[in-house]
């Protein structure tokens, strides 16, 4: 399932309200063009899906930027606290063995969190692959069902053609 990012100019949807109005006017001027319900549904649905697909990179980039800003904010808070609190805690002259124990505990906590982040990332990767596989399976099933449905409609039409 290849992902292709298209430029807005490659897509088949109106850019502005003027384009929509122009499309409506041009569709009213050509009544000789015969369309079907299927044409209307397919074309309009495809247009919406293409527009949504085009928005995915921007959507993901916006959330990436938001999350990055969030993480940087916390990093800056701890940096500012370090500067402000270092002199205070240095004057307390806390026992070095206590600080070493605290450092070991903090490193253990850091390692556990890091491991959980890795596990979460691996889980998400596996989950996304499973979902994509499910969609691929559904697509194959839907194609088989659509072929059966098309054959059924063809048989139905041929039955009525004989009677008309």
- The pLDDT of 65-90, averaged and rounded, is 90
pLDDT band at residue 18 using 50, 70 and 90 as cut-offs: low
Confirm if 14 and 20 have CB atoms less than 8 A apart.
Answer: yes
Phi and psi at 85, nearest 5°, equal -95, -20
Task: Give the tens place of pLDDT for each residue, 99-136.
Answer: 999 999 999 999 999 999 999 999 999 999 999 999 99
Query: What is the spatial distance between Cα 15 and Cα 9, in angstroms, rounded to a whole number?
Result: 9
Domains of the chain by residue range: 36-93, 94-164
Indicate the DSSP class of residue 32. T
Task: Give the tens place of pLDDT for each residue, 134-162.
Answer: 999 999 999 999 999 999 999 998 888 76
The per-residue pLDDT for 6 is 46
Task: Give the tens place of pLDDT for each residue, 49-58.
Answer: 999 999 999 9
Query: What is the spatial distance between Cα 94 and Cα 99, in angstroms, rounded to a whole number?
Result: 7
Query: What is the spatial distance between Cα 164 and Cα 151, in angstroms, rounded to a whole number?
Result: 20
Half-sphere exposure of 53 (CA within 13 A, CB side): 17
Q: Which of 1, 7, 124 is nearest to 58 (CA)?
A: 7
Phi and psi at 34, nearest 5°, equal -95, 125
Is the pLDDT assigned to residue 16 strictly greater than 90? no
The per-residue pLDDT for 81 is 85
- pTM for the complete prediction? 0.59
pLDDT band at residue 27 using 50, 70 and 90 as cut-offs: low
18, with CB counted inside 10 A (0-12, 13-18, 19+), is exposed
Instruction: Compute the mean pLDDT over every residue in the chain, rounded to the nearest whole number.
Output: 85
């Amino acid at each position: 399932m290849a992902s292709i990012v298209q430029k807005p100019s490659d897509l088949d949807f109106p850019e502005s309200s003027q384009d929509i109005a122009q499309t409506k006017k041009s569709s009213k001027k050509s009544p000789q063009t015969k369309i079907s319900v299927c044409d209307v549904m397919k074309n309009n649905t495809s247009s919406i899906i293409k527009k949504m697909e085009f928005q995915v990179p921007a959507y993901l980039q916006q959330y990436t930027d938001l999350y990055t800003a969030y993480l940087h904010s916390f990093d800056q808070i701890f940096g500012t606290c370090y500067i402000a609190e270092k002199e205070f805690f240095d004057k307390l002259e806390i026992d070095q063995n206590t600080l070493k124990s605290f450092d070991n505990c903090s490193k253990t906590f850091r390692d556990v969190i890091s491991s959980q982040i890795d596990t979460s990332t691996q889980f998400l990767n596996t989950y996304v692959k499973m979902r994509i596989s499910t969609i691929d399976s559904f697509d194959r099933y839907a194609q088989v069902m659509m072929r059966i449905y098309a054959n059924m409609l063809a048989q139905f039409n041929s039955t009525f053609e004989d009677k008309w």
